[in-house]
Structures are given as C-alpha cells and as structure tokens.
Structure 1
C-alpha cells in the first residue's frame, strides 16, 4: 500500500490519525462550553471560542492528507487549495485572534472601568477585534487563489498554499507572534501592580499557557518553513520539512481543553456539569443596566 510513498510520510500519517480526533473533540467541547454557560458570553470568550473553532477546522484539514496517504493518491495543487479552503481559514485566523485576545486582556488591566463599559457594547467591541483577523485571512486566501497550479501533490495544508502566499503567511506570522508576546508580557507585568480578581488571573493564566504552547509550536514551524529552502533545493524534502514542523502546532491547537480544564475553574465547572448533565444549574452572568450606570458614576467621580 505504501510502495510508492516516501517512507518518512508514513509515521506522519499515523500521527495525524491520532491527533485529528483529539483536536476535534478538544475544540468542540470548548465551543459547547461557550454556548451552555452564560458566564462565558463576554467578548473575550467570543474571541476565545472563535479561536477554538479556527483550531478545530485547522486540524480537520489533515483528514485529506491522511486519506491520500493511506490510499496512495495525489491531487492537483489547485484542487488541494479548494479542498483546504476551510482549514487554511482556520490556520490563518488563529494567530491574529490570539493577538486580539492579548490586546483585550491588556485593555482590561490597563483601563478596567472603560473596559467594563465596553462589555455592554458587545457587538461593536467584538467586531473591532475581528477586523484585522478577517482582512488578514482574506489576503492570504486571495494570494493562494492566484497561485493555484497543476502540480501533483500530497494534499496537506502547506501544499494548499503555493510559493509566495505561503512565504507571506510565514513571514507575517513572525510579526504577529512578536505582537502576541509583547501584549501578554505587558499584561503580565501590569497584573503584578493591579489588584485583580482571582477569576481574571485564572483566565489570564489559562490563556497565557495556551499561547505559550502555541507560540512554541509555531516558532518551530515558522523557523523550519523559513529556513527549509536554505537546507535543500528538493521540493519533496522541503514539503516533508513543512509537514513535520507542523506536528508541534497540531499538538498545541489540540490541547485547548486540557489546559483550560486544568487551570480555569469556570471551564472545569462547565465540563463537569456537561458530563453530569446538569448544565441547566449553571449560574447566570450579571449583565444589568444598573451595574453599567454605577460604573459610569464611578468614571465621572474619578474624572472630577
């Protein structure tokens, strides 16, 4: 069955046979938690849930690769692009969303009263955070669409983006990751000088661990993708480097549930109640107009 397949692709295919169901399950549970727990309806949790959705779609893209691997089939690169449009969207959305989550946490610590008021303008506030991720994803998709070709490939996410589009994605990712590091580092520093609730700290810690693991995975991936062309001129070997460097990323994006369940009490409670079938007893989130009015009064008193 694997007679005409590069031997180094075989262990990669079996790795993805394991990580695909784990990644889908992990991110689906995170999304379900958002819908069943009213306390997880803030703009921050909307951004986090969208990140989990992007990660879940991303890991689904490996299904096509595994299928072609096990059936020893190939496809045109242009066909591979069309088959992987959704996974590429998940791939390109995730990092900008993490950056926006970092900016959200930084704003929450730096301007807590103003931030709390913005929570009552949920649609507007969330939409502002989504502008860059959406424009960035559309740009990468457009470049990939322009570069479609009829080369025969094993259809994986790296081969769905050919030439310039993948290089632009890789290099722009470096700038996004630096921004993420700066946002979370500044937030962590400010937390040491602010009296914040234990709930906020638990949320920040859980997302911080998630970001750390994802950044480690993407660091390996982007370095491999950037310097892979300097190592070899053989495109088959370069594609192998791309695919193997994606292992750490796929592990990272499949770990969301484990991290949040371990660190964040809110998600731990929600998951336990999902398992017990007692989600209807979850406490509601206070979102009253009187609270907003009090906050505005506090803001005015501070200004005077």
Structure 2
C-alpha cells in the first residue's frame, strides 16, 4: 500500500466519524422537531442527507485498501456516494436561490410556502437530474480490467473530469447569491439577525473553501498536462476539502442557530426544546419596515423560521 494512500486513509477515517454522525444528526433532528419543517430547513436536510451519502465513499475506499476492487465494481459500490456528491454540490445552489427569493420578495415567498411541496420539488429537481445525468455518464466509463483505490474520482473514470468542470461552473454562482442575501439582511438593525450573518458567512466560507477549492484543483488537474498517476493522486487528496467542509454541518448549525441547538438538545434528551418564536428574523424586519412606512403588516411567519441557520 502506498504511503500517500495510508495517510489519506487515516485522514478520511477521522473525518468520516465526525461527518457521517453529524449529518445523520441533522437529518434526524429535522424530522424530529416541528420547528424545523420550513422549506429552507428541508433543503438543508436534503443537503445533509446528500453529504451523508457522500461519506459512504470513505467506506468503499477503506475496503479497497485491503481487497482489490475493479473500477467497474468501484462504480457500482460508489453509486450512493457519487449521487450524494453531485446532488450536494447543487443543493448549496438551491438553498441560495431559496434565500434569494425570501429576501428579495417576501410576499411572493409566502405564496410559495403555500405550495411548499411543488416549490421544494422544483428546487430539488436540478440537483437530482444533475446527479443522475453524471451517473449515466459514469456508467459508460466502467472498466472491469483496472484495479483502483475506490474513491469518487476513480469510480467515475473520465466522467469525473466532467463533474469537476461543471461543478466549478455551478459554484461560481453560489458566492454572489449568498453575498447578496448577506447584505440584504445586514441592513436590518436588529441583534436577532447576528446569527444569520454568522451562519451565512460560514456557509459561504465552506462553499468557497470546500467545493470551490476542490473544483478548481480538480479542473486544473484535468486541463494542465501532467503525469496521470500524479493527477489522480491530486484528485484523491482534493476530496479532503469536500469531506472536511461537509463534516461540520451539525457543529455550525448547533453553534449559530437557536432553533437547531434547542431541537438537537431536545432530541438527545439534554434539555427540553424551547418553543421557537413564531415571529422570525424576516418577519421582524418586514413588519418593522412596513410599520415605518404606515403600511399594513403582513404575516410572514412561514417565510423564515429557518433563517437563523
């Protein structure tokens, strides 16, 4: 076993424990708590579920270190992980679009909440279709004669090159959307939105430092002429950025969101879940703005219970 692969195995094993457990906790707490049933919370849950699937890639890698696995078998074993990686990457964009609509047009967002099933399905359509399309491409790249360390890049063959390039393009749209939402929220003079500032900042940093770093290095590895073995090793190590950025979802939301923190503590039996306020950050800001302008206040309860995350 190559020393670089041994080091990678140690890193991935450590990250797996934190990442899989944390994302599983995020999924369970979303369904457990009635206060986390808004569209954005469900989108965050979908992202965490995809991240949880992504971490099964580490299990396949661990097995391949001791049992020779063909590239074709690696593809089949890694279907859940590959789907999770593809969909999770696009999910971040879906959450950003949802937040953009919420801050740019609260009234319209309220109407979308009334059709939440259709709206949620529409937002998740692109991540699912995008993931399935890449899996179809990867299916055509199977090679039963080649033995590989079973990680996402190797499971897809040349289809990974397509993923690296398209993922990079997708994530070019993510930071501007989140920055716009951040500055729209920043105009509100309320201490209740400080958690939003922090969580959005962390989200953007995770996206940029995680997916964008991986996508950039992955794109360079397939466009700059270099030894194929070196390019493959670079791609394998690039996964550490994705796994690390996906591993701390639960930690970020627990530290920065009152709703998630109380829901997690309640589910784990640490303390009783405090009743989340029905009037939320965006309700406070929109009601205040409308009151100042002597306009009729509109109830936007449903808009953003989740915007403390």
Query: Is the counterpart of residue 112 in structure 1 residue 113 in structure 2?
Result: no
Query: Is the counterpart of residue 217 in structure 1 residue 189 in structure 2?
Result: no
Match of 1:249 among 214, 234, 242: 242
Which ranges of structure 2 fall in alignment gaps of 5 or more residues? 280-295, 299-309
Query: Is the counterpart of residue 57 in structure 1 residue 53 in structure 2?
Result: yes
Query: Is the counterpart of residue 100 in structure 1 residue 116 in structure 2?
Result: no
Match of 1:152 among 127, 131, 147: 147
Q: CA deviation at 1:175?
A: 1.5
| Native 8 Å contact 1:105 1:204 kept in 2 | no
Partners of 1:198 and 1:104 in 2: CA distance: 20
Q: TM-score scaled to structure 1, two decimals? A: 0.85
Which ranges of structure 1 fall in alignment gaps of 5 or more residues? 288-296, 300-304
Q: How many residues align?
A: 284
Deviations 1:183-230 (A, max 9, x none): 11111122234578936x635642541342132122221222122246
**Aligned residue number for residue 16 of structure 1:** 12
Partners of 1:13 and 1:44 in 2: CA distance: 34
Partners of 1:65 and 1:29 in 2: CA distance: 23
| Native 8 Å contact 1:214 1:253 kept in 2 | no
Q: Which residues in structure 2 correspond to 1:15-164 (within 5 Å)?
A: 15-69=11-65, 71=66, 73-150=67-144, 151-163=146-158
Partners of 1:204 and 1:26 in 2: CA distance: 22
**Aligned residue number for residue 161 of structure 2:** 167
| Native 8 Å contact 1:38 1:283 kept in 2 | no
Q: TM-score scaled to structure 2, two decimals? A: 0.84
Instruction: Describe the shift of the 1:127–1:229 C-alpha distance in structure 2 as closer, same or farther (beyond 3 A).
Output: closer
RMSD: 2.5
Instruction: Describe the shift of the 1:193–1:277 C-alpha distance in structure 2 as closer, same or farther (beyond 3 A).
Output: closer
Deviations 1:268-291 (A, max 9, x none): 111222232656x5537869xxxx
